[in-house]
Amino acid sequence: MTDMTILILGGGGFIGRKVAQSLAARATLRGQPITRLVLADLAEPAPLDAPFAVETRACDITDRAAVDALIGPEVTVIFHFAAIVSSHAEAEFETGMAVNLHGTLNVLERARVLGTCPVVVFTSSLAVFGGEVPDPITDHTIPNPQTSYGMQKAVGELLLNDYSRKGYVDGRGFRLPTISVRPGKPNRAASSFMSSVIREPLNGQEAVCPVDETQEHFYLSPRKCVENLIKGAELEAAALGMQRCMTMPGQRLSIRQMIDALTAVAGPEPARLIRWEDQPDVAAIVRGWRYDYRFDKALALGLDADASFEENVRAYLEDDLPKA
């Protein structure tokens, strides 16, 4: 039995941390005991308690030498979550290209040079889709991104597919729905309010909703996202076929349906803390997003969505509500 060394790029981030905690709880991956976990991010991640060795490292994936020093032949599985978010990548084109495109290429090139064919789990985005393609968006819809971030993720998918075809990596990529309810504070993503309208009221704080309550979108809880990413890491290459990237399952919901779920779980008081304030710049971005997705391939491979948004609310209360 070979050693199981796992690297999480973006290991200090929200999803990276949750995947690390889940791996620590289960202690195995791909049928083998985990022997070592490396958490890497631009700033060194916080330590993690686990029944195996855990290392924390600072690494800038735009620096090829730093990537080469981080990824050795012992690394069996790479979770590649390191990226900058959509609005940041749109506002700072060069930074987005450096991190989201060239950083991904640095990781894949290091694997190619090593010749060890690690499993690479890549988080892509629904932003790869756009333009004039018809609904619903299926596994066979042609990517046509309308943002720099979407373009960078689409290129990442193409790279992952080709490096897998050549046998340099065993890649699998997942286009994530909007993750809600996210813990913490709002970030620079235009979708940030899609967590804050639930999270802040549950914390007794006012939240602003910048769009109409009929606005629909495509959602997945952090808990289910982590489950799916770990399932994705365990898929056999033969099951993935010629297209290594797919849309992760989610739920299509309106803001009103989300708030109704909030009320069903937490009672009427939290929803009274939501203030409706039209923000045309945010609304214009969100109206351009698609939300009618089919995810047959992921379902066939054993990934799934939350059964209802009430599950998303309960997951936040159980996993992420700040302790008093």
pLDDT tens profile 33-74: 999 999 999 999 999 999 999 999 999 999 999 999 999 999
pLDDT at 287: 81
| Sign of the C-alpha dihedral computed for residues 134, 139, 142 and 148 taken in this order | positive
The mean pLDDT value of the chain amounts to 95
Residue 305 has pLDDT above 80, yes or no: yes
Peptide bond into 107 cis (omega under 30): no
Q: Give the global pTM.
A: 0.96
Which residues are designated catalytic?
Answer: 149
Contacts of residue 134, Cβ cutoff 8 Å, sequence gap at least 6? none
d(CA 26, CA 229): 14
Contacts of residue 242, Cβ cutoff 8 Å, sequence gap at least 6? 161, 165
Question: What is the average per-residue pLDDT within 255-276?
Answer: 98
- pLDDT digits over 79-127, tens only? 999 999 888 888 899 999 999 999 999 999 999 999 999 999 999 999 9
Map residue 290 onto helix, strand or coil.
coil
Q: Between the CA of residue 208 and those of 85, 275, 286, what are the distances in Å? A: 21, 5, 15
Query: CATH topology for 5-177+221-247?
Result: Rossmann fold (3.40.50)
pLDDT at 187: 74
